[in-house]
Structure 1
Amino acid sequence: METENLNKNSIPLRRFITLTMSGIFVYGFAISVAGGYIDYAGDAAIYVGILGLVVVLLMSIPIMEYTRLAPFAGGYYGLAEMGFGKAVGKFTAILNYAYYSFLQVGNGLITAEIMLVAIYIVYGILLPFVLVPVIALITVFVMYIGAKYQVRNLARIIEISVWAQVGVMLVAAVYVILTTHNNSLTYLNPSSSPTGFAGIGLGAAVSGFLTFEAYGNGLFFSEEGIKPKKVVWRSIIVGVLLATVIGSVSIYSELAAYPNITALSASPLPLITSYLSFIGKIGVLFLAFIYVPFYFSSNIIGASGAQARLLYSLSRDNFINSKWLAKLSPTKTPANAALVNFVIATAMTLIVLAVMIPVYGYNETSLFYVAFAPYTAATILWYFHHGIPDVSLYFYYRRSGIKVSFMRKLFASILAPAFGLGIFAYAFYDGVISNFVEPYFAFVLIAIIIVVFSAGYVVYRGYKNSLGGSVIERMMNEAEK
């Protein structure tokens, strides 16, 4: 299928860095995922993020190697296809798409949670339930609109938003740290977790790994980058480390601001609870509500733009036989693919609410559950669609005959991802599987069902000889010539 090309040479290094940071909940590190950090790891909450950082850095090394080989709008599945062929590549792509679908549901619901729970903490009033789907669906709609933006404007909006988030976060955190009388090395001690590594592991499984999962947003924009083979991998390193340092300062400030860890752990939004006595009601509501436009214009839009490019790439490969999905808008963005994603995310959001609210009721705790349970499914799917490309790099090296030193090949394609996956598996088992924590465990099962179904579907498509083409294979062949 002949398709139009995306806008090349549109995104410079500094904007790839902010694309990476946008996927790491830069502002949300403090407000959206902090509840999961503190609830499970207590005074050692800062190490939930550090564990997530270690795992993602280790598992991203093969991906960074991949960005030096090819810029591909389909993201991770290109590397899987390079190493294992079309069937495994398309299997990876389906899981990647499912990951983004659950991520978008969580994005919409967590926006509703933050706004409504912030008001509840400050005034003791939980506004009517109808606002939950309204806010969530408005968020999903904004994702769709953002994904349609001309890529230069989209990258510029994300850049401005990210640095505005960083400014707001750091000013608030530094003010609280300088004002509080409870600064302590306890919050820097990993042994201060009340349940040891299990608490840190569960926090990582629910929130910590999730914090970093969308670091790969920039991969999907790589065909539109300026010198992408040189800048994308650099942007990953810089963006991940910057976001972790900034976010960790904020987590520390929340712990130091409110030393009653039992009460703070019970709060669905620790930032609001801990900062209330320092900056007052207006101040914490400003933080909660200023979060929304920031979040709309960075993480949400960055992720939706990436998902639209993934669906466009699958259509360009003719795995999805749709000229309409492979067609770009006049501004050369995959607007049709973004529309399909919007419809799917809307339906999934309503289903999650329809199933979970009758079970858990409507309260501040259930709002936390309905946001983070879909994120748990996203986390499981992320490790499948990310782990397969990691492993495939070694096989691509062997098959292609590219000259790479033995130590580099061993470290980049075997040791680093193996250590990352091992840490993840242990933390997830110790934190979730062994404890059968609900509702997260139910969404683990949903993710596994999706993996099994997707594998069967790809096997069927392979049997019918209908896996489509491979744009990434053509790119690599042309590069070798």
Structure 2
Amino acid sequence: MESSSGSGLKKNSVSFYGLLGFTLAGVLAIIGPIEIASFIGDTGPAAIWPIILGYVLFVLVSFPILEYTRIAPFAGGYYGLAELGFGKTAGKFTSLANYSFYNFWQTANAFFISWLAIDTIYILYGILLPEWTWFLLSFLTIAVTYVMSVQRAKYLSRIVLYSILITLVAVIGFIAYVIIKTPYNSTYYLNPVHSYGGFGGIALATAVLGFYLFTGYGGALFYAEESENSRKNMWKAVYIGLTISAFIIALGAYSEVAAVNRIDLPVVGTASIPELVTWIHYIPRIALLAINMVILVVALIAFGGGAGSQSRLMWAMTRDGFIKSKRLNRLNSSRSTPTNAAAFDSLLAGITVMLVGLVMVYFYGYTPSTVADCFYVGGTASTILWYFHHFIPEFGLFTFLGKHKELKFSKARRYVSGLIIPVAGGVLFVYTFYLGIISDLVEPYLAFVVLAVLILIAIIVYTIYKKIKGELGNSTVEYMMAETGDVDDSK
């Protein structure tokens, strides 16, 4: 059933709408009403602003990355541009940083599903399911994610898109109903100056979770070699997906802060799932249970898109020979998917879930808050790792275009997309990160920031070691770029 492959991935199998589905799956707009507890806790009435700030940042920082997709569609995603711009050492470091991000992304996803199930039942009915069910649900999430990720890219993209769009209709219906019914609608909730902690509160909420909401936007990039006309379709799918996601998440946040009297917002901000403690004033318990379980099932389907990205990243590293494993380089002969790489990813994510869960329970006990915090700490580690695997290739575009003046990029476009935008995005991220995390970080988040930094240091040491040994492997993306020979400059 499996055979070694040099290129192997099924060409022209993912349409524009499939790329849109993978973008939405990465951002997961369907959990818009769910994943905003820290926004309300840190900003109160201004809960929509961490979402807006995160969206603006990602529109900025995605621009250079999407320029890259017009140069060489590459299954390894971000590390291809880092390699083109700064060479194999920077590229391979980026690949491992990206892979580490995905491992914590899967970890956070597993804890999200178990959190959603356990805390929904606890908040609505006062029943805390046993600790073993929490671990079981987390491991089942990883298992289902694997099963979805190894499906043919063409079919997976369709399943993801249709399931998300259908669920979004239901979610928007719930949001609209609450907004229509609440007597507390006001422009007061649209003003950022009403944040509890000023801009610092908005920054904290953005740094802890606002960035994590959108980090999955790049999931579609890893399907570039399998997509139809990636150079024209990729950037459109990503921007449309980001915009749809930001709008629905912000609308969900507004529906929750406007659902109760302002004096009750501090209490809402301490709730594990604010959607339940606010919408319950207008929607019956059984309906809230039903919508959250629907979101749970569709999220499980959607996670397959990102897990497929991770397995393609691993496969691309083995194709380059940076990771030397014939087994991980094999593609399933009938599906043309890296099933072995996906199995390895799942095993690593399962081990990480077990370790994080056991440590968190040891220090904080098994409580509804711990269940939620495990999701947030996974997101925190992912955000740190995302920063390093994302901004290196961003700046790589400017260097690459400077070395290849024959490409169809004007000087102005080179400076805007390759230098000005990355600098602006980097400054915004660092400033927000400083205000939100470095200057005001509490446990358990600090421990996971430190963990992410230690992982990055280990990756640096390992990459340097591989360079000294002459084992960085090949650069497939350079071959692809040479074969392409030009850049489509039309929008």
Name the TM tier (shorter chain): over 0.9
Match of 1:441 in 2: 446
- Amino acid corresponding to residue 381 of structure 1 in structure 2: L
1:18 alignment partner, one of 12, 21, 40: 21
Contact (CA 8 Å) 2:14, 2:228: kept in 1 or not? Answer: yes
Match of 1:208 in 2: 210
1:301-332 per-position Cα deviation (integer Å, ceiling 9, x unaligned): 11101000000000011111111111100210
- Aligned residues: percent identity? 37
Match of 1:341 in 2: 345
Deviation at 1:162, TM superposition (A): 1.5
What SS is found at the alignment partner of 1:106? helix
Contact (CA 8 Å) 2:5, 2:331: kept in 1 or not? Answer: no
2:196 alignment partner, one of 175, 194, 197: 194
Deviation at 1:2, TM superposition (A): 5.7
Aligned equivalents of 1:480, 1:73: Cα separation in 2: 18
Count of aligned positions: 479
Match of 1:379 in 2: 383
Residues 385-424 of structure 1: pairs in structure 2 closer than 5 A? 385-401=389-405, 402-424=407-429
1:456-479 per-position Cα deviation (integer Å, ceiling 9, x unaligned): 111111111110111101101112
Deviation at 1:354, TM superposition (A): 1.0
Aligned equivalents of 1:172, 1:270: Cα separation in 2: 14
What SS is found at the alignment partner of 2:13? coil
- Amino acid corresponding to residue 270 of structure 1 in structure 2: P
- Amino acid corresponding to residue 187 of structure 1 in structure 2: Y
Confirm or deny that 1:320 pairs with 2:299.
no
Aligned equivalents of 1:133, 1:6: Cα separation in 2: 34
What SS is found at the alignment partner of 1:130? helix
1:120 alignment partner, one of 119, 122, 139: 122
Deviation at 1:165, TM superposition (A): 2.5
- Amino acid corresponding to residue 156 of structure 1 in structure 2: R
What SS is found at the alignment partner of 1:328? strand
Deviation at 1:234, TM superposition (A): 1.0
Aligned equivalents of 1:147, 1:22: Cα separation in 2: 12
Aligned equivalents of 2:175, 2:316: Cα separation in 1: 41
What SS is found at the alignment partner of 1:432? helix
Aligned equivalents of 1:436, 1:215: Cα separation in 2: 26
Aligned equivalents of 1:362, 1:325: Cα separation in 2: 37
Contact (CA 8 Å) 2:21, 2:158: kept in 1 or not? Answer: no
Match of 1:467 in 2: 472
Deviation at 1:4, TM superposition (A): 4.3
Aligned equivalents of 1:152, 1:238: Cα separation in 2: 20
Aligned equivalents of 2:243, 2:295: Cα separation in 1: 22
Match of 2:435 in 1: 430
Residues 218-237 of structure 1: pairs in structure 2 closer than 5 A? 218-237=220-239
Deviation at 1:177, TM superposition (A): 0.6
Aligned equivalents of 1:211, 1:322: Cα separation in 2: 33
What SS is found at the alignment partner of 1:257? coil
Greater mean deviation of Cα atoms: 33-42 or 262-271: 33-42
Aligned equivalents of 1:440, 1:421: Cα separation in 2: 22
Aligned equivalents of 1:387, 1:413: Cα separation in 2: 11
Please give the root-mean-square deviation of Cα atoms over the aligned residues, in Å. Answer: 1.1
Aligned equivalents of 1:435, 1:301: Cα separation in 2: 35
Q: Please, what TM-score do these two structures have when normalized by structure 1?
A: 0.98
Residues 187-336 of structure 1: pairs in structure 2 closer than 5 A? 187-259=189-261, 260-298=264-302, 300-330=303-333, 331-336=335-340
Aligned equivalents of 2:58, 2:177: Cα separation in 1: 30
Deviation at 1:24, TM superposition (A): 1.1
- Amino acid corresponding to residue 322 of structure 2 in structure 1: F
Deviation at 1:254, TM superposition (A): 1.0
Match of 2:81 in 1: 79
Contact (CA 8 Å) 2:60, 2:422: kept in 1 or not? Answer: yes
Match of 1:110 in 2: 112
- Amino acid corresponding to residue 374 of structure 2 in structure 1: V
Match of 2:489 in 1: none
Confirm or deny that 1:70 pairs with 2:75.
no
Match of 1:9 in 2: 12
Contact (CA 8 Å) 2:22, 2:306: kept in 1 or not? Answer: no
Contact (CA 8 Å) 1:87, 1:458: kept in 2 or not? Answer: yes
1:406-434 per-position Cα deviation (integer Å, ceiling 9, x unaligned): 22111101111211111111111111111
Greater mean deviation of Cα atoms: 189-198 or 436-445: 436-445
Aligned equivalents of 1:290, 1:238: Cα separation in 2: 24
Aligned equivalents of 1:366, 1:100: Cα separation in 2: 22
Contact (CA 8 Å) 1:3, 1:327: kept in 2 or not? Answer: no
Residues 29-108 of structure 1: pairs in structure 2 closer than 5 A? 29-31=32-34, 33-108=35-110
What SS is found at the alignment partner of 2:470? coil
What SS is found at the alignment partner of 1:278? coil
What SS is found at the alignment partner of 1:437? coil
Structure 1 stretches of at least 4 aligned residues deviating more than 3 Å after TM superposition: none
